[in-house]
Amino acid sequence: MNPSSSPTSSLHLAMAAFFGASLMAISAFFIHKRSVQHVLQRLIEIRQHRLMDAEEEEEDELIGARNQGFGMEVEEEEESSILCYGIPSSDPNVNVGLSDDWVEGDDSPQIIGSLDKSNLPLLQLSRTHGSSCSLKASASAASISSETVGRNLLENSVQSNLQGKDLLNGEDGKTTVQESLSSPAKRPYENGVPAQKTRVVSCERKAILDLPANIEVDMSPTGDEGNDFTADTVLPLKAAIPEPLSMEEEEVRRMLRECLELREAYVYKEEVAPWNEPNDVASAVKNADLFHFYPVEKTDHDFRMEDGVIHVYASKNDSVELFSVPTATKFFTDMHHILKVISNGNVNSACYHRLRFLEEVYFSFAYDNIHLNPKTMQKFRLYLLVNADREFLAQKSAPHRDFYNIRKVDTHIHHSACMNQKHLLRFIKSKLRKEPDEVVIFRDGKYLTLKEVFESLDLTGYDLNVDLLDVHADKTTFHRFDKFNLKYNPCGQSRLREIFLKQDNLIQGRFLAEVTKEVLSDLEASKYQMAEYRISIYGRKQSEWDQLASWFINNEIYSENAVWLIQLPRLYNVYKNMGIVTSFQNIIDNIFIPLFEVTVDPNSHPQLHLFLMQVVGFDLVDDESKPERRPTKHMPTPAEWTNAFNPAYSYYTYYCYANLYTLNKLRESKGLPTIKLRPHCGEAGDIDHLAAGFLLCNNISHGINLRKSPVLQYLYYLAQVGLAMSPLSNNSLFLDYHRNPFPIFFQRGLNVSLSSDDPLQIHLTREALVEEYSIAAKVWKLSACDLCEIARNSVYQSGFPHAAKLRWLGGKYFLRGPQGNDIDKSNVPNLRIAFRHETWKAEMQYVYSGKARIPEEIEV
């Protein structure tokens, strides 16, 4: 053997051994891999069979639930089933290293969910304070990759339809979130696979599990879905999830609640609502002859004037008053408290943000047939864009109803200016032509006929035109209330005003009665337009009431389309300087003593008794921009007010309120109509006026100065105080049209209506109210639904009787929310009414921290 060949042979042997070992190792590796894959594939098949069995059992249970009344349809299960290893939230998130062979279906990670279809019962979130919202849990099966399983899965991520029933507890289908957290859900195959194995949890379940424990999940079905007005609608969120409040925010809410409670304690409300009165009483008032007095028995009530307020007693011998009213000192103290709240910086900031929230931002719900899902946060303009078509379609479905065919009330119009300038000109010409020799006035020691009056003015009927009449407001009247009042004088002559626009003149107001009947005739011809006319009582003498009542009754002034309010001009300083009165007490006596006399004994003023059947309100009028001193907590009594200065607005308002409050209590106890306090307020002047109006008044006229006080504006919204706004009148006096806050107030949900105020000075057409609506619609781009909602508000604000509102708004108009709306009467879709109502409820719950008690009926 050659020694030199030995190293070569050893190398060959070593290489052969290495190759053989390598080949055997590779063969063993592939054999082992194939065996492992076979075992794993077999395990997957076994688990798939068990999953299919569970699906069939669950499908049977869902079909049984539907047959028992759940009304759910069971969807077909997806062909691919998902089974994966989940990691509990308490364990570290690590990759379990599973191969792709463990997942069936598409390799790309995806989560497929549905918010529109579901075969789960309704989830009802019931809050502790009564407000609730519902969730419809739904999700389809999800396909995920092994990488998603390893790194992205949490216990509360996505839940398949098969796991939806795990939230149910018992046959009633209700459980609380707290219980579902404390007891783990049942897991299939928990004895056959590791404990970490879980299903994919739905996003909806994660949202539910993240809620506080005091919110209950109610999965019971809702009521009659066929009559559910909320189908396919978008509404505001009923209540936000409660969050811990800071001391500052809690203090703000407490002060707002105090203000609302103060108003609740002051404002007069009838003990028995009109819809709860016996039918015989209502029919007796309706069938009464308005121009024939039937003797009424006098009662034993006695009344006495004490410190400017009349107190009523059961008889002359009694010393206990029947109806107590807050004193002047208490009122001025409470008003100063309101002013203190208004000036608080934190309250101003909070109310400003809430008002912006009302105007712009809304949490809304989208409804399907019977289920409610949280949808999104929307701005107000987006809300209108989303729902405008729905509202329009709903209005189309209302037969014989459009803007022209719904009742709309002119909630603020002065009787002396109730006609337009062309109408007055035509009437003057006709009287000058037909009755030139009628003695109409006594001037300069002699009686003058109508013809002689015009000759003294160097005028003839042919010369008269609208421009010469000069009763229309122009740019010279802006911020000049004195010049505006001069426009009541035709041709600039006070004698023509006395002849044609006064009821206490030589001809006993015959011309005014005739033109009033023409205006009422036009109103009745329109059928769907109503008006609330203001007529003046000045307080110079007590006989004014009988004089006004005789003018009404003798001329038979009445229309089903009109009611009347008494307006008191605040002219104490004028009368004092003229020597007509000696103190403010004289005005209080002249206004209220005749009203108490006729209420106790109708036989003492029979015509006044009949006239008061048409009177629904009391108004305070005059220039609010005049400077005045803010009242202190301790003010002189009316008898002590003997100086030449006019009392402050709030001083006038309180003493009118206090006497009206007692008068209304007395009249209500005798079954007579009551008189609401509805003054001009907030047109100009100090913010004190609006604070007094908030405490004392049922409704107000104008209110444009609310734009200067976020706190008062928010309080007026919460209390839903009616605002009879007149943008065209404001444009002539105090505020340019484009700066008027009406559209902002309307968007935020304040209780606003449109009114004409003074057609003689402001408007050009015969239908002043429609002119007001049409200009507002064009300038502010109001929709047909907006106009109908404003018209509906005007009917609610008005003083028309209950029987009339039943005909105009429907048999349940006194209920809050969509239950009280009848689109066939109001032409306002339930969607809009529900939106307004739910938004207001949410704000009330915000102020009362979820403890607000919302009455079912409106306030009268």
Active-site annotation, residues: 702
Residue 483 among known ligand-binding residues: yes
With b for 16 or more beta-carbon neighbours within 10 A and e for fewer, the 383-406 pattern comes to beebbeebbeebbeebeebebeeb
Residue 760 among known ligand-binding residues: yes
- Rounded to 5°, angle at Cα 741 from 738 and 744: 110
Three-state secondary-structure class, residue 323: coil
With b for 16 or more beta-carbon neighbours within 10 A and e for fewer, the 499-525 pattern comes to bbbbbebbbebbbbbebbeebbeebee
Report the C-alpha gap between 626 and 686 in whole angstroms: 9
Please say whether the beta carbons of 660 and 677 come within 8 A.
yes
Three-state secondary-structure class, residue 115: coil
CA atoms within 13 Å, Cβ hemisphere of 632: 4
Q: Which has the closest alpha carbon to 288: 557, 670, 614, 605? A: 614
Report the C-alpha gap between 98 and 38 in whole angstroms: 15
Report the C-alpha gap between 453 and 258 in whole angstroms: 60
Helices (H), 233-344: 247-266, 279-286, 328-342
**Structure tokens given for 286:** 């309706």
Q: How far separated are the first and last CA of the chain, in Å rounded?
A: 130
Residue 761 among known ligand-binding residues: yes
- How does DSSP classify residue 224? -
Neighbours of 673 (CB within 10 A): 16
Report the C-alpha gap between 848 and 250 in whole angstroms: 10
Please say whether the beta carbons of 337 and 262 come within 8 A.
yes
Neighbours of 255 (CB within 10 A): 20
Q: Which amino acid would we find at residue 276?
A: N
Report the C-alpha gap between 155 and 753 in whole angstroms: 54
Report the C-alpha gap between 780 and 782 in whole angstroms: 6
Residue 485 among known ligand-binding residues: yes
Residue 683 among known ligand-binding residues: yes
| Sheet with 562-569, side-by-side order of all strands | 408-414, 529-536, 562-569, 615-621, 676-677
Kind plus residue range of the DSSP H or E element containing 198? strand 197-198
- 3-state SS, one letter per residue, for 399-451: CCCCHHHCCEEEEEEEHHHCCCHHHHHHHHHHHHHHCCCCEEEEECCEEEEHH
Please say whether the beta carbons of 446 and 566 come within 8 A.
no
Helices 649-669/328-342 angle, 10° precision: 120
- Provide the phi-psi class of 491: left if phi over 0, else alpha when psi is between -120 and 50, else beta: left
Query: What's the length of the chain?
Result: 860
Residue 851 among known ligand-binding residues: no
Regarding beta strands 216-218 and 123-126, do their DSSP bridges make them parallel or antiparallel, or are they unpaired?
A: antiparallel
Report the C-alpha gap between 309 and 327 in whole angstroms: 9
Beta bridge partners of 159: 201
Residue 412 among known ligand-binding residues: yes
Regarding beta strands 361-367 and 234-236, do their DSSP bridges make them parallel or antiparallel, or are they unpaired?
A: antiparallel
Regarding beta strands 197-198 and 680-681, do their DSSP bridges make them parallel or antiparallel, or are they unpaired?
A: unpaired
Neighbours of 210 (CB within 10 A): 10
- Rounded to 5°, angle at Cα 167 from 165 and 168: 70
Kind plus residue range of the DSSP H or E element containing 534? strand 529-536
Residue 829 among known ligand-binding residues: no
Residue 488 among known ligand-binding residues: yes
Residue 380 among known ligand-binding residues: no
- Output the DSSP codes for 249-280: HHHHHHHHHHHHHHHHHHS---SS-GGGS-HH
Residue ranges of the annotated binding site for substrate are 414, 483-488, 683, 758-761
Residue ranges of the annotated binding site are 412, 414, 483-488, 680, 683, 757-761
Residue ranges of the annotated binding site for Zn(2+) are 412, 414, 680, 757
